[in-house]
Amino acid sequence: MKLDLKYLGSSGMVGSALSFQPNLARPKVFFDQRLKNPLRFREAMSALHDVVIGDFRFKKRDKAVYEAWKTEQTRQEDDLRASIIDVEKRREIEKLQGEAPPANLQQDFQQMHHVYWTARRQWATELMRNDPEMFRALVPCDPVVTVAPDTVFFECFAKDESSYGCLFVDRDAFEGTTASGLGTTNVDYSIALYEHFQTLRTYRETRLLVDPTGFEVKVESAGTYREEKIDLPPSWLKGFGQLSAAMALPSREVELSVDAVYSLLAHLKRNREKAGPRSIEFQLTPGKAPSMVLQPWGVRVESHGLPYVGEKPETIKVWGRRRLGVLARLLPIAEKFTVQLLGSGLPSIWTAHLGDMRFVLGLSGWTTNDWTSGGNLELLSGAFVADLRASARILEHLKKQHLSSFDELSRLVEVSRPALIGSLHHLSQQGQVIFDFAAKQYRFREVMPVALSESVLGPPSPELAAGIDTYKRGGVTLERREVLPKARQLLIAQVKPEGARVGSRCEAVFDADGGFSKATCSCDHFRQFRLKKGPCRHLIALKLFENAEILSTDSAKKELLH
């Protein structure tokens, strides 16, 4: 998808103001207030920077001898080139002495500027098509900033697309009053801006400025005006939607004390595992503070936070723990940490509470599994069928109010709980809505100027499509239904997709929110992946069968058949 980026200059320090240049191609968004605690903001934004540059994919070792030879060859070539250029420069200066600049200098510059950007766009398109990983490394996507009535928050994605970072800065973190333009835009971000962050001090006044002047001048005639058009990779866009959707799914909430997270990071920093398993085991017992076991060492880390309030004892494992290193800079300023666990091998959301700021770190199931491939969250949510009318009303309401709780939205649209969850998940996948765990509110946030459609994000997962098709064709034969305590239900059925010679036997326990509390299936997909890559087509069909009552409205039927 092509994205127009138009900036009036570059972000940086302007006097005592930390100025972010917004994307002029989007609706105007501006903000200008003084930070109460620049040091806290510096550390939080530095952690966000660590997320942006994070790339934990496996890399082959470089050959030192070859690299040394190549460096020496490059040095010799540079020396030779510099000596030749120096001689030619002196010759040209002698020729031009006393001569006026060419009359068509500006025209020639504009022509060559056009040639450069045309070639750059062609190069970016070719690189994205043939080497997406290199494209993602060399053509990073600028962070997204949203100015809301009660907060300003920045969002970004890592290079390897396995980590997501979001920094919420509440309005209480600022002093003074000023006008602001609410909305979402891209901001210019660079390594130089990160270096400016490191200069922030408590004894210096610092203002956070999303520059409003860029919308009040004729920017096309400004000397610092920059325009870029880049092709955003679908995985980047889909990742934002999937992450927002993950926040809307039912999960277990765990509170960790700062000392527990410190012990976790300190052990990982001092030790390097030589064999698996390489997981963090969350051992959750109702009424007791959670504990973590670091494998393969078997080291137990006890938390001194609030006790776990779940229904039953559980052990949940998460992988890709090295990515948690970005939280190290937040330890001195953090009050506590909360973790949202979707299940073993599934994504986890870590929130650092920093007083009037909150840092959210979203991690995919494991390091090499990004949000858009193996751990495809639409498989877990595919059973929640969206109500199109409810989705439209929710979006219209959030555009006006900017944030709202689940209960408020439930009273607004008056649909069943599964249908409301499906509608919120649908809006999240389109990049229109994000869930704030700390505030327990859904927020309006457009990651792009338009909703992300299937033409941009690509078709749904084959397992999800096959599960929907199996349900529509009546391939689910229910054998047993049993009501369990705490509004849970047990379903046992035979599920036979079209073309299959034999069906698969499925057993699933659904919680009060309609999510999978426990499930088994006799198919190869489930035996190989369990629920780590989402439910198989048979379990999806069973879930749709269990939620059949919400298909009574024409809008829900239309959404399912779409």
| In a shared domain, residues 34 and 51 | yes
pTM: 0.66
Residue 113 located in a structural domain: no
pLDDT for position 24: 52
Q: Domain boundary residue among 401, 422, 457?
A: 457
Residue 64 located in a structural domain: no
| In a shared domain, residues 181 and 329 | no
Q: Which whole-number Å values give the CA distances from 262 to 163, 211, 227, 329, 439, in the listed order?
A: 20, 37, 43, 10, 25
Residue 368 located in a structural domain: no
23 φ/ψ angles, rounded to the nearest 5 degrees: -80, 115
| In a shared domain, residues 47 and 146 | yes
| In a shared domain, residues 285 and 333 | yes
Average pLDDT along the chain, 562 residues, taken 10 residues at a time: 49 54 59 82 85 70 80 90 87 74 78 79 72 58 78 80 84 76 70 71 76 40 43 56 62 91 94 84 93 93 90 86 91 93 82 92 70 50 69 88 88 82 79 79 76 59 82 88 83 88 88 72 88 81 69 38 36
d(CA 295, CA 104): 68
| In a shared domain, residues 482 and 394 | no
Q: Domain boundary residue among 403, 430, 457?
A: 457
Residue 369 located in a structural domain: no
pLDDT for position 268: 93
Other Cβ atoms within 10 Å of 216 Cβ, number: 10
> In CATH, what number is assigned to the domain containing residue 29?
3.10.150
Residue 262 located in a structural domain: yes
| In a shared domain, residues 11 and 150 | yes
pLDDT for position 231: 45
pLDDT for position 262: 96
How many domains is the chain built from?
Answer: 4
| In a shared domain, residues 450 and 470 | no
Q: Which long-range contacts (CB under 8 A, 24 or more apart) does 188-191 make?
A: 188/7, 188/9, 188/10, 188/11, 188/20, 188/21, 188/23, 188/142, 188/226, 189/11, 189/20, 189/52, 189/142, 189/143, 190/10, 190/11
| In a shared domain, residues 410 and 295 | no
| In a shared domain, residues 418 and 446 | yes
Q: Domain boundary residue among 307, 341, 375?
A: 341
pLDDT for position 554: 35
DSSP E strands in 257-391: the ranges are: 280-284, 291-294, 299-302, 314-318, 336-341, 348-353, 357-363
> In CATH, what number is assigned to the domain containing residue 420?
1.10.10.10
| In a shared domain, residues 147 and 30 | yes
Residue 366 located in a structural domain: no
Residue 178 located in a structural domain: yes
Q: Tell me the residue range of the domain where 296 lies.
A: 252-341
pLDDT for position 471: 85
| In a shared domain, residues 181 and 288 | no
pLDDT for position 239: 62
pLDDT for position 484: 86
| In a shared domain, residues 466 and 453 | no
d(CA 44, CA 170): 13
Residue 119 located in a structural domain: no
> In CATH, what number is assigned to the domain containing residue 284?
3.10.150.10
